């Protein structure tokens, strides 16, 4: 947004100030989000009184959904900042509302100039066209951000997806090697997931995965990472966690899942996790070995009757 304001203020020597305001539907007062001035040390460097006046003008333009031209010298709302207006030689202003990327919001662009009758001579059309361009650019920015989120997060659980989790694992591994630190991996699998889907339907299966994600968010430590590896499998990355600490965290996660069954039509549907644990560097010196060994621990947990934690040991491969 600041870049958009900079372009406009650089387009004319008469434009002294450009400010953007965002207003919610329902008549709430607009919030200033960005301001750019011709000179960084001008008289409006710190002027909350002027900003309050511009807020009311932005709200009027947004409420009417129409461009508004105003003259500070003849507008009673500027009475408290009249001396600043005269010092800055501001003669006229315009407020142009336009649609924000979020349909529930509107953005109003307020422009102040130092020449009288400027918007009559130049016309409002260039500013309206620029406001439309700003709307398009902001929409494209929001879409790119959403695409980036889709590439990073699992849409069902909100956790990191496999690709993003692999990038985090790479960073944590490099950090551990460089600073002679340790970390641990948990390979988690929701037991009998196919049975849940077959018995209660995929909607309940989705709720089960979402429940695991919420529980893990509470159980894991600040700084730990969790992502959906695929299907009903989750991987947790525990920086600086020793072998014993990793197993304790895994047991807490398993216990908490066991204690929070799903409610399906007033019926409790129990969930259990099987978890495999592998630790760097004792269980492997490279990422691939750690993943393989954590998966081996998970397989051992499954073979031990599920709903348990097993740490990798030689011979489980």
How far, CA to CA in Å, does 108 sit from each of 15, 49, 308, 309? 16, 18, 58, 57
CA dihedral 68, 87, 16, 70 (to 10 degrees): 10
CA-CA distance, 300 to 186, in Å (whole number)?
13
Tens of pLDDT, residue by residue, the chain (317 residues):
777 778 888 888 888 888 888 877 665 778 888 888 876 545 455 566 778 888 888 888 888 889 999 988 878 888 888 887 777 788 899 999 887 665 567 888 999 998 888 998 888 898 888 888 888 777 777 666 665 656 688 989 999 999 999 999 999 999 999 999 999 999 999 999 999 999 999 999 999 999 999 999 999 999 999 999 999 999 999 999 999 999 999 999 999 999 999 998 888 999 999 999 999 999 999 999 999 999 999 999 999 999 999 999 887 66
> Active site residue: 31, 232, 245, 259, which one?
232
Q: Where are the alpha helices (DSSP H) in the chain?
A: 2-10, 48-64, 82-87, 118-122, 125-152, 162-178, 193-200, 202-219, 243-259, 287-303
| Backbone angles phi and psi of 95, in degrees to 5 | -120, 120
Query: Structure tokens of 142?
Result: 């929001």
Architecture field, domain 162-311: 2-Layer Sandwich (3.30)
Q: Comparing 2-150 with 162-311, is the CATH topology the same?
A: no
Q: Residue 99 in contact with residue 135, Cβ under 8 Å?
A: yes
Known catalytic membership, residue 232: yes
Instruction: Name the 3-class secondary structure at 10.
Output: helix
pLDDT of residue 27: 59
Question: What's the CATH superfamily of 2-150?
Answer: GAF domain (3.30.450.40)
What are the CA-CA distances from residue 80 to residues 49, 52, 72, 89, 199 (Å)? 7, 10, 11, 16, 71
The length of the chain is: 317
Domain extents for the chain? 2-150, 162-311
Q: What is the spatial distance between Cα 8 and Cα 273, in angstroms, rounded to a whole number? A: 57
What pLDDT was estimated at residue 79? 84
In the chain, % helix, strand, coil (3-state, to 5) comes to 50, 25, 30
Helix (H) or strand (E) holding 43: none
């Amino acid at each position: 947004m600041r870049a958009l304001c900079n372009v406009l203020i650089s387009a004319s020597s008469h434009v002294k100030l450009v400010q953007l305001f965002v207003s919610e539907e329902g008549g709430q007062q607009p919030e200033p989000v960005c301001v750019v001035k011709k000179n960084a040390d001008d008289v409006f460097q710190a002027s909350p009184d002027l900003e309050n006046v511009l807020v009311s003008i932005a709200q009027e333009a947004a409420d009417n959904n129409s461009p508004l031209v105003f003259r500070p010298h003849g507008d009673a709302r500027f009475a408290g900042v009249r001396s600043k207006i005269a010092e800055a030689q501001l003669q006229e202003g315009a407020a142009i509302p336009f649609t924000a990327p979020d349909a529930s919001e509107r953005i109003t662009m307020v422009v102040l100039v130092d020449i009288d009758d400027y918007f009559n001579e130049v016309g409002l059309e260039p500013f309206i066209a620029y406001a439309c361009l700003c709307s398009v650019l902001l929409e494209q920015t929001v879409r790119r951000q959403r695409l980036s989120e889709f590439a990073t997060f699992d849409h069902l659980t909100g956790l990191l997806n496999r690709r993003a989790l692999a990038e985090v694992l790479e960073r944590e591994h490099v950090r551990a090697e460089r600073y002679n630190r340790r970390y641990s991996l948990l390979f988690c699998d929701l037991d009998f997931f196919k049975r849940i889907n077959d018995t209660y339907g995929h909607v309940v299966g989705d709720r089960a995965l979402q429940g695991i994600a919420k529980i893990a968010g509470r159980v894991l430590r600040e700084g730990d990472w969790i992502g959906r590896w695929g299907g009903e499998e989750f991987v947790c990355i525990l920086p600086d966690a020793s072998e014993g600490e990793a197993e304790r965290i895994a047991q807490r996660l398993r216990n908490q899942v066991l204690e929070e069954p799903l409610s399906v039509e007033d019926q409790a549907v129990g969930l259990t996790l099987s978890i495999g644990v592998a630790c760097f560097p004792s269980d492997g010196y490279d990422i691939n070995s750690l993943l393989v060994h954590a998966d081996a621990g998970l397989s051992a947990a499954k073979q031990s009757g599920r709903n348990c934690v097993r740490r990798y040991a030689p011979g489980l491969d």
